[in-house]
Amino acid sequence: MDRSEPIRTDMVIVGAGPVGLFAVFEAGLLGLRCHLVDNLDKPGGQCAELYPDKPIYDIPAIPVCTGQELIDRLMEQIRPFEPTFHLRQMAQTLERAEGGGWRLTTSAGTVFEAPVVVIAAGAGCFVPRRLPLPEAERFEGRSLFYAVRRRADFAGRRILVAGGGDSALDWLLTLEPEAEEIALVHRRDQFRAAPDSVARMRELVNAGRVRLIIGQIAGLEGEDGELEAVRIRTREGEVRHACDRLLAFYGLKMELGPLAHWGLELHEGLIRVDTEAFETNLPGVFAIGDICWYPGKLKLILSGFHEGALMAQKAFRYCRPEEKLVFRYTTSSTELQKRLGVRA
Protein backbone atom coordinates (compact mmCIF):
# COMPACT_ATOMS: atom_id res chain seq x y z
CA MET A 1 0.00 0.00 0.00
CA ASP A 2 1.16 3.51 -0.82
CA ARG A 3 1.33 5.14 2.63
CA SER A 4 0.80 8.57 1.06
CA GLU A 5 -2.72 7.42 0.13
CA PRO A 6 -4.98 7.93 3.16
CA ILE A 7 -6.79 5.00 4.73
CA ARG A 8 -10.43 6.04 5.04
CA THR A 9 -12.38 4.48 7.87
CA ASP A 10 -15.04 5.33 10.43
CA MET A 11 -12.90 5.38 13.54
CA VAL A 12 -9.18 5.49 14.33
CA ILE A 13 -8.39 4.30 17.84
CA VAL A 14 -5.06 5.41 19.29
CA GLY A 15 -4.07 2.67 21.72
CA ALA A 16 -4.73 -1.07 21.59
CA GLY A 17 -5.04 -1.76 25.31
CA PRO A 18 -8.15 -3.30 26.87
CA VAL A 19 -10.21 -0.12 26.65
CA GLY A 20 -9.25 0.47 23.01
CA LEU A 21 -10.12 -3.15 22.18
CA PHE A 22 -13.52 -2.92 23.87
CA ALA A 23 -14.18 0.30 21.95
CA VAL A 24 -13.86 -1.80 18.78
CA PHE A 25 -16.63 -4.04 20.11
CA GLU A 26 -18.98 -1.17 20.92
CA ALA A 27 -18.29 0.50 17.56
CA GLY A 28 -18.67 -2.80 15.74
CA LEU A 29 -22.14 -3.36 17.18
CA LEU A 30 -23.11 -0.08 15.49
CA GLY A 31 -21.57 -1.12 12.17
CA LEU A 32 -18.53 1.18 12.45
CA ARG A 33 -15.17 0.11 10.99
CA CYS A 34 -12.08 0.58 13.16
CA HIS A 35 -8.32 0.87 12.69
CA LEU A 36 -6.06 0.85 15.74
CA VAL A 37 -2.61 2.44 16.13
CA ASP A 38 -0.22 1.38 18.89
CA ASN A 39 3.44 2.01 19.62
CA LEU A 40 3.93 -1.53 20.94
CA ASP A 41 4.51 -4.61 18.78
CA LYS A 42 1.33 -6.41 19.90
CA PRO A 43 -2.17 -5.52 21.13
CA GLY A 44 -2.80 -5.39 24.86
CA GLY A 45 -1.21 -2.24 26.25
CA GLN A 46 -0.12 -2.42 29.89
CA CYS A 47 -1.94 -5.73 30.43
CA ALA A 48 0.17 -7.53 27.83
CA GLU A 49 3.41 -5.58 28.19
CA LEU A 50 3.80 -4.94 31.92
CA TYR A 51 1.76 -7.58 33.73
CA PRO A 52 0.67 -10.43 31.44
CA ASP A 53 0.76 -12.90 34.36
CA LYS A 54 -0.61 -10.60 37.04
CA PRO A 55 -4.08 -11.57 38.31
CA ILE A 56 -6.93 -9.11 37.81
CA TYR A 57 -9.95 -9.44 40.12
CA ASP A 58 -12.29 -6.57 39.19
CA ILE A 59 -13.50 -7.44 35.68
CA PRO A 60 -17.29 -7.95 35.88
CA ALA A 61 -18.38 -11.62 35.85
CA ILE A 62 -14.75 -12.86 35.73
CA PRO A 63 -13.61 -13.62 39.30
CA VAL A 64 -9.95 -13.73 38.27
CA CYS A 65 -7.92 -13.63 35.06
CA THR A 66 -4.41 -12.61 34.11
CA GLY A 67 -3.66 -9.52 32.07
CA GLN A 68 -2.92 -11.63 29.00
CA GLU A 69 -6.06 -13.72 29.45
CA LEU A 70 -8.14 -10.54 29.48
CA ILE A 71 -6.53 -9.38 26.24
CA ASP A 72 -7.02 -12.80 24.63
CA ARG A 73 -10.74 -12.73 25.50
CA LEU A 74 -11.16 -9.20 24.20
CA MET A 75 -9.42 -10.14 20.94
CA GLU A 76 -11.79 -13.09 20.57
CA GLN A 77 -14.77 -10.85 21.28
CA ILE A 78 -13.88 -8.31 18.57
CA ARG A 79 -12.87 -10.88 15.93
CA PRO A 80 -16.24 -10.63 14.08
CA PHE A 81 -15.61 -6.93 13.40
CA GLU A 82 -12.22 -7.52 11.74
CA PRO A 83 -10.36 -4.47 13.08
CA THR A 84 -7.04 -3.56 11.47
CA PHE A 85 -3.99 -3.08 13.71
CA HIS A 86 -1.09 -0.75 12.88
CA LEU A 87 1.58 -1.71 15.42
CA ARG A 88 5.01 -0.25 16.17
CA GLN A 89 3.64 3.12 15.10
CA MET A 90 3.05 6.25 17.14
CA ALA A 91 0.20 8.62 16.39
CA GLN A 92 2.12 11.71 15.35
CA THR A 93 -0.02 14.54 13.97
CA LEU A 94 -3.72 15.35 13.92
CA GLU A 95 -5.25 17.95 11.63
CA ARG A 96 -8.55 18.75 10.02
CA ALA A 97 -9.22 16.81 6.81
CA GLU A 98 -10.31 18.78 3.73
CA GLY A 99 -13.65 17.03 3.40
CA GLY A 100 -14.38 17.15 7.13
CA GLY A 101 -13.35 14.89 9.94
CA TRP A 102 -9.73 14.30 10.87
CA ARG A 103 -6.46 13.39 9.23
CA LEU A 104 -4.08 11.43 11.48
CA THR A 105 -0.50 10.57 10.51
CA THR A 106 1.72 8.05 12.32
CA SER A 107 5.46 7.88 12.86
CA ALA A 108 5.62 5.27 10.06
CA GLY A 109 3.98 7.63 7.57
CA THR A 110 0.60 5.89 7.60
CA VAL A 111 -2.21 8.39 7.01
CA PHE A 112 -5.83 7.98 8.10
CA GLU A 113 -8.89 10.06 7.34
CA ALA A 114 -11.87 9.48 9.60
CA PRO A 115 -14.77 11.41 11.11
CA VAL A 116 -13.86 10.06 14.56
CA VAL A 117 -10.58 9.67 16.44
CA VAL A 118 -10.59 7.92 19.81
CA ILE A 119 -7.62 8.30 22.15
CA ALA A 120 -7.40 5.21 24.36
CA ALA A 121 -3.68 5.39 25.05
CA GLY A 122 -3.66 4.59 28.76
CA ALA A 123 -1.51 7.23 30.40
CA GLY A 124 0.21 7.92 27.08
CA CYS A 125 2.50 6.03 24.75
CA PHE A 126 5.02 3.49 25.99
CA VAL A 127 8.62 4.44 25.34
CA PRO A 128 11.75 2.67 26.62
CA ARG A 129 13.66 4.08 29.57
CA ARG A 130 16.88 5.30 28.03
CA LEU A 131 20.36 4.84 29.39
CA PRO A 132 20.89 7.90 31.65
CA LEU A 133 24.30 8.90 30.30
CA PRO A 134 25.06 12.11 28.37
CA GLU A 135 27.00 10.20 25.69
CA ALA A 136 24.29 7.55 25.16
CA GLU A 137 22.55 9.43 22.35
CA ARG A 138 25.64 9.16 20.12
CA PHE A 139 25.36 5.36 20.16
CA GLU A 140 21.58 4.92 20.05
CA GLY A 141 20.35 3.14 16.95
CA ARG A 142 23.86 2.09 15.89
CA SER A 143 25.32 0.04 18.72
CA LEU A 144 23.02 0.85 21.66
CA PHE A 145 19.48 -0.50 21.40
CA TYR A 146 16.38 -0.63 23.60
CA ALA A 147 14.64 -3.37 21.59
CA VAL A 148 15.52 -6.14 19.18
CA ARG A 149 13.87 -5.76 15.80
CA ARG A 150 16.01 -8.30 13.87
CA ARG A 151 17.91 -11.06 15.60
CA ALA A 152 20.25 -11.34 12.62
CA ASP A 153 21.70 -7.90 13.45
CA PHE A 154 23.25 -9.36 16.62
CA ALA A 155 24.68 -12.59 15.25
CA GLY A 156 28.44 -12.87 15.77
CA ARG A 157 28.53 -9.77 18.00
CA ARG A 158 30.01 -9.17 21.45
CA ILE A 159 26.82 -8.30 23.32
CA LEU A 160 26.20 -6.76 26.72
CA VAL A 161 22.61 -7.02 27.98
CA ALA A 162 21.60 -4.60 30.74
CA GLY A 163 18.60 -5.21 32.98
CA GLY A 164 17.04 -7.74 35.29
CA GLY A 165 13.51 -8.27 33.98
CA ASP A 166 11.88 -10.65 31.54
CA SER A 167 12.96 -8.76 28.42
CA ALA A 168 16.62 -8.73 29.45
CA LEU A 169 16.71 -12.43 30.37
CA ASP A 170 14.62 -13.55 27.38
CA TRP A 171 16.91 -11.83 24.87
CA LEU A 172 20.04 -12.95 26.69
CA LEU A 173 18.90 -16.57 26.35
CA THR A 174 17.72 -16.07 22.75
CA LEU A 175 20.88 -14.39 21.50
CA GLU A 176 23.43 -16.48 23.44
CA PRO A 177 23.73 -19.24 20.81
CA GLU A 178 24.29 -16.69 18.02
CA ALA A 179 26.59 -14.20 19.74
CA GLU A 180 30.38 -14.30 19.66
CA GLU A 181 30.19 -13.61 23.40
CA ILE A 182 27.48 -12.29 25.67
CA ALA A 183 27.29 -10.82 29.16
CA LEU A 184 24.59 -9.57 31.53
CA VAL A 185 24.92 -6.54 33.78
CA HIS A 186 22.46 -5.82 36.58
CA ARG A 187 22.69 -3.64 39.66
CA ARG A 188 22.08 -6.58 42.03
CA ASP A 189 22.16 -10.36 42.04
CA GLN A 190 18.37 -10.61 42.18
CA PHE A 191 16.14 -10.63 39.12
CA ARG A 192 12.49 -9.83 38.32
CA ALA A 193 12.30 -12.31 35.44
CA ALA A 194 10.52 -15.68 35.36
CA PRO A 195 12.26 -18.18 37.67
CA ASP A 196 12.89 -20.59 34.79
CA SER A 197 14.70 -17.87 32.83
CA VAL A 198 16.82 -16.97 35.85
CA ALA A 199 17.72 -20.64 36.39
CA ARG A 200 18.73 -21.07 32.74
CA MET A 201 20.84 -17.89 32.88
CA ARG A 202 22.69 -19.14 35.96
CA GLU A 203 23.36 -22.49 34.26
CA LEU A 204 24.97 -20.63 31.34
CA VAL A 205 27.02 -18.51 33.75
CA ASN A 206 28.26 -21.64 35.54
CA ALA A 207 29.11 -23.20 32.17
CA GLY A 208 31.16 -20.14 31.20
CA ARG A 209 28.90 -19.24 28.27
CA VAL A 210 27.52 -16.05 29.86
CA ARG A 211 29.36 -13.55 32.04
CA LEU A 212 27.34 -12.01 34.88
CA ILE A 213 28.45 -8.59 36.12
CA ILE A 214 26.82 -7.06 39.21
CA GLY A 215 27.06 -3.31 38.88
CA GLN A 216 25.80 -0.25 37.02
CA ILE A 217 26.86 1.19 33.69
CA ALA A 218 29.00 4.27 34.25
CA GLY A 219 30.17 5.17 30.77
CA LEU A 220 30.43 4.23 27.10
CA GLU A 221 33.54 4.17 24.93
CA GLY A 222 33.72 4.28 21.15
CA GLU A 223 33.73 6.53 18.10
CA ASP A 224 31.23 7.45 15.37
CA GLY A 225 28.41 5.69 17.20
CA GLU A 226 30.23 2.35 17.28
CA LEU A 227 30.64 0.95 20.76
CA GLU A 228 34.02 -0.44 21.84
CA ALA A 229 33.58 -0.91 25.58
CA VAL A 230 31.30 -0.17 28.52
CA ARG A 231 32.59 1.03 31.88
CA ILE A 232 30.76 -0.62 34.78
CA ARG A 233 30.79 0.53 38.40
CA THR A 234 30.94 -2.48 40.75
CA ARG A 235 31.50 -2.87 44.49
CA GLU A 236 35.15 -3.62 43.82
CA GLY A 237 35.58 -0.56 41.60
CA GLU A 238 35.12 0.33 37.95
CA VAL A 239 35.71 -2.34 35.30
CA ARG A 240 35.96 -2.03 31.52
CA HIS A 241 33.95 -4.57 29.51
CA ALA A 242 34.71 -4.79 25.79
CA CYS A 243 31.63 -5.17 23.57
CA ASP A 244 30.23 -3.83 20.32
CA ARG A 245 26.48 -4.09 21.05
CA LEU A 246 24.61 -2.93 24.14
CA LEU A 247 20.98 -3.92 24.74
CA ALA A 248 19.49 -1.85 27.57
CA PHE A 249 16.21 -3.18 28.99
CA TYR A 250 15.26 -0.81 31.79
CA GLY A 251 11.53 -1.10 31.26
CA LEU A 252 9.01 1.26 29.72
CA LYS A 253 7.66 4.64 30.76
CA MET A 254 4.54 6.42 29.64
CA GLU A 255 4.49 9.83 27.98
CA LEU A 256 1.71 11.89 26.43
CA GLY A 257 4.05 12.32 23.47
CA PRO A 258 2.82 14.05 20.30
CA LEU A 259 -0.76 14.10 21.65
CA ALA A 260 0.29 17.02 23.82
CA HIS A 261 0.51 19.18 20.68
CA TRP A 262 -2.90 18.37 19.19
CA GLY A 263 -4.71 21.30 20.78
CA LEU A 264 -6.47 19.14 23.36
CA GLU A 265 -7.58 20.69 26.63
CA LEU A 266 -5.51 19.09 29.39
CA HIS A 267 -5.84 18.69 33.13
CA GLU A 268 -2.64 17.77 34.97
CA GLY A 269 -1.30 15.90 31.97
CA LEU A 270 -4.57 14.12 31.14
CA ILE A 271 -7.19 14.92 28.49
CA ARG A 272 -10.29 16.69 29.76
CA VAL A 273 -13.58 15.24 28.46
CA ASP A 274 -17.28 15.67 29.07
CA THR A 275 -19.14 12.87 30.82
CA GLU A 276 -21.98 12.66 28.31
CA ALA A 277 -19.92 11.06 25.55
CA PHE A 278 -16.27 11.48 26.66
CA GLU A 279 -15.64 13.90 23.84
CA THR A 280 -12.72 16.32 24.05
CA ASN A 281 -12.78 20.00 23.17
CA LEU A 282 -12.15 18.92 19.54
CA PRO A 283 -15.44 17.78 17.92
CA GLY A 284 -15.21 14.14 16.85
CA VAL A 285 -12.13 13.46 19.00
CA PHE A 286 -12.82 11.35 22.09
CA ALA A 287 -10.65 10.14 24.98
CA ILE A 288 -11.43 7.07 27.08
CA GLY A 289 -9.56 5.04 29.68
CA ASP A 290 -6.76 6.22 31.94
CA ILE A 291 -5.74 9.05 29.60
CA CYS A 292 -8.97 11.02 30.11
CA TRP A 293 -10.01 13.18 33.04
CA TYR A 294 -13.33 14.38 34.41
CA PRO A 295 -14.55 15.04 37.97
CA GLY A 296 -14.86 11.74 39.81
CA LYS A 297 -12.75 9.79 37.32
CA LEU A 298 -11.64 6.32 38.47
CA LYS A 299 -8.69 4.71 36.71
CA LEU A 300 -10.26 1.28 36.35
CA ILE A 301 -10.58 -0.94 33.29
CA LEU A 302 -14.32 -1.30 33.88
CA SER A 303 -14.65 2.52 33.91
CA GLY A 304 -12.94 2.59 30.52
CA PHE A 305 -15.39 0.00 29.19
CA HIS A 306 -18.31 2.24 30.26
CA GLU A 307 -16.67 5.27 28.65
CA GLY A 308 -16.19 3.34 25.40
CA ALA A 309 -19.87 2.38 25.27
CA LEU A 310 -21.08 5.97 25.61
CA MET A 311 -18.41 7.22 23.22
CA ALA A 312 -19.61 4.88 20.47
CA GLN A 313 -23.16 6.25 20.64
CA LYS A 314 -21.95 9.81 19.94
CA ALA A 315 -19.35 8.62 17.40
CA PHE A 316 -22.11 6.98 15.35
CA ARG A 317 -23.69 10.39 14.78
CA TYR A 318 -20.45 11.70 13.28
CA CYS A 319 -19.96 8.61 11.11
CA ARG A 320 -23.57 8.13 9.96
CA PRO A 321 -25.21 11.57 10.20
CA GLU A 322 -28.03 10.55 7.82
CA GLU A 323 -28.97 7.42 9.75
CA LYS A 324 -31.12 7.12 12.84
CA LEU A 325 -29.43 5.48 15.80
CA VAL A 326 -31.65 2.78 17.26
CA PHE A 327 -30.59 1.40 20.62
CA ARG A 328 -30.66 -2.41 20.67
CA TYR A 329 -29.69 -5.19 23.05
CA THR A 330 -27.44 -8.04 21.93
CA THR A 331 -29.72 -10.50 23.75
CA SER A 332 -32.72 -9.69 21.58
CA SER A 333 -31.52 -7.96 18.38
CA THR A 334 -31.26 -10.29 15.39
CA GLU A 335 -29.21 -7.67 13.54
CA LEU A 336 -26.62 -7.41 16.33
CA GLN A 337 -26.45 -11.18 16.64
CA LYS A 338 -25.72 -11.41 12.92
CA ARG A 339 -22.92 -8.89 13.31
CA LEU A 340 -21.51 -11.00 16.12
CA GLY A 341 -21.71 -14.11 13.98
CA VAL A 342 -23.94 -15.99 16.43
CA ARG A 343 -26.97 -16.05 14.09
CA ALA A 344 -26.99 -16.98 10.42
| Number of domains comprising the chain | 2
Q: How far is CA 164 from CA 33, 168, 172, 194, 340, in A?
A: 41, 6, 10, 10, 43
Which residue among 250, 275, 306 closes a domain? 250
DSSP letter, residue 120: -
Helix (H, G, I), strand (E, B) or coil at 280: coil
Residue 305 is assigned to a structural domain of this protein: yes
- Write out pLDDT tens, residues 287-300: 999 999 999 999 99
Residue 94 is assigned to a structural domain of this protein: yes
pLDDT of residue 124: 66
pLDDT of residue 126 exceeding 80, the answer is no
Q: Are strands 91-96 and 102-106 parallel, antiparallel or unpaired?
A: antiparallel
Interval 167-187 mean pLDDT: 96
Domain with 294 in it = 7-127+253-340
Asked whether residue 223 falls in the same domain as residue 261, the answer is no
pLDDT of residue 129 exceeding 90, the answer is no
Interval 207-224 mean pLDDT: 97
The backbone torsions φ and ψ at residue 133, rounded to the nearest 5 degrees and listed phi first, read: -130, 140
Which residue among 250, 266, 291 closes a domain? 250
Asked whether residue 219 falls in the same domain as residue 317, the answer is no
Q: Are strands 252-255 and 266-267 parallel, antiparallel or unpaired?
A: unpaired
Asked whether residue 237 falls in the same domain as residue 331, the answer is no
What CATH code is carried by the domain that includes residue 11? 3.50.50.60
pLDDT of residue 6 exceeding 80, the answer is yes
- Write out pLDDT tens, residues 270-279: 999 999 999 9
Of the two residues 317 and 128, the one the predictor is more confident about is 317
Q: Give one word for 286, left, alpha or beta, with left for phi > 0 and alpha for psi -120 to 50.
A: beta
Closest to 157 in 3D by CA, of 127, 176, 180, 140: 180
Asked whether residue 258 falls in the same domain as residue 116, the answer is yes
CA trace torsion 15, 19, 20, 23 (10° rounding): -160
Signed CA dihedral, 271, 16, 306, 7: sign only: positive
Q: Cα(26)–Cα(146) distance, rounded to whole angstroms?
A: 35
pLDDT of residue 48: 82
Asked whether residue 63 falls in the same domain as residue 111, the answer is yes
Which residue among 207, 230, 250 closes a domain? 250
Residue 195 is assigned to a structural domain of this protein: yes
Tell me which of 39-48, 66-75, 102-111, 242-251 is least confident.
39-48
Strand (E) or helix (H) holding 183: strand 181-186
Contact 26, 308 (CB under 8 A): yes
- Write out pLDDT tens, residues 23-80: 999 999 999 999 999 988 899 987 887 678 788 999 999 999 999 999 999 999 999 9
Q: What is the DSSP string of 30-63?
A: TT--EEEEESSSSTTHHHHHT-TTSEE--BTTBS
Altogether, the residues listed in the chain come to a count of 344
Whole-number average pLDDT of the chain: 93
pLDDT of residue 224: 95
Of the two residues 245 and 149, the one the predictor is more confident about is 245
pLDDT of residue 253 exceeding 80, the answer is no
pLDDT of residue 1: 45
pLDDT of residue 169: 96
Q: Cα(20)–Cα(28) distance, rounded to whole angstroms?
A: 12
Tell me which of 2-6, 96-100, 168-172 is least confident.
2-6
Asked whether residue 257 falls in the same domain as residue 123, the answer is yes
In terms of pTM, does the model score above 0.75?
no
